[in-house]
A = this chain, B = another copy of it.
Amino acid sequence: MTAPRGRGRRPGGVDTRAAIISAARGQFAAKGYDKASIRGIAREAGVDPALVHHYFAGKAQLFAETMEVSLDPVAIVGRVFAGDPARLGWRVVETFLLVWDAPERRQTLAALLRSSMTSDEGARVLREFLSREVFGRIAAATGVPDPELRGSLAGAQMLGLAVMRYILKVPALVDVPPEVIVERLGPVLQAHLVDTPATEG
């Protein structure tokens, strides 16, 4: 969950790539997906636009990679699966709050989320990112039937929490300590991602 933050301006290599992503994060957050441009991101990173195109196929891929660096889904999923399977749901909520509550990340993630919802292409990138990188991966690894549906409903609970706690700032969710949310949502995530309850109705 520690994002690479190299700031070098050498015309190639890990530092340049990191500098482009860092600039992209700022531009997407400030302008929204539609209004951010490869040219503006290149200027912000102090590199030639051609170099941005050398590393990234286009704006959509750059946005996806920006989210990946900001969220680090591999670390998240690793953390969620380390430990007792009977407490997996609780670790999902705990990890989610750990990532979002970090002051240096909160504004960026809220801005990326907002940014992606106001444009169809941004929505597509976020949709594919969430399905592929986070919730689908978790649900598939737990071996439940309907992993995509189950993972998406779990995602809906957490995405709704993010919107209400960090964007709408609903007091009941802002003022509450993370561990209270973990205790209340842990069983919900466990039910979505792991348990197979008897169906009713």
Majority SS of interface residues in chain A?
Answer: helix
Contacts of A90 in B (CB 8 A): 201
| Interface size range on A against B | 35 or more
User: Shortest Cβ distance from A92 into chain B, in angstroms?
Assistant: 14
> Can you give 28 A-B contacts (C-beta < 8 A)?
A32-B118, A90-B201, A117-B117, A117-B167, A123-B167, A123-B169, A127-B169, A127-B170, A130-B170, A131-B171, A131-B172, A148-B171, A149-B176, A150-B184, A151-B172, A152-B164, A153-B161, A153-B181, A153-B184, A153-B185, A155-B160, A156-B173, A157-B188, A158-B160, A160-B161, A186-B200, A186-B201, A188-B192
Assembly of this chain: how many copies? 2
With A191-B187, A201-B90 in contact, do A159 and B164 touch (Cβ < 8 Å)? yes
Q: How far is the CA of A151 from the CA of B182 in the complex (A)?
A: 16
Closest to A150 in B: B184
Decide yes or no whether A2 CB sits under 8 A from chain B.
no
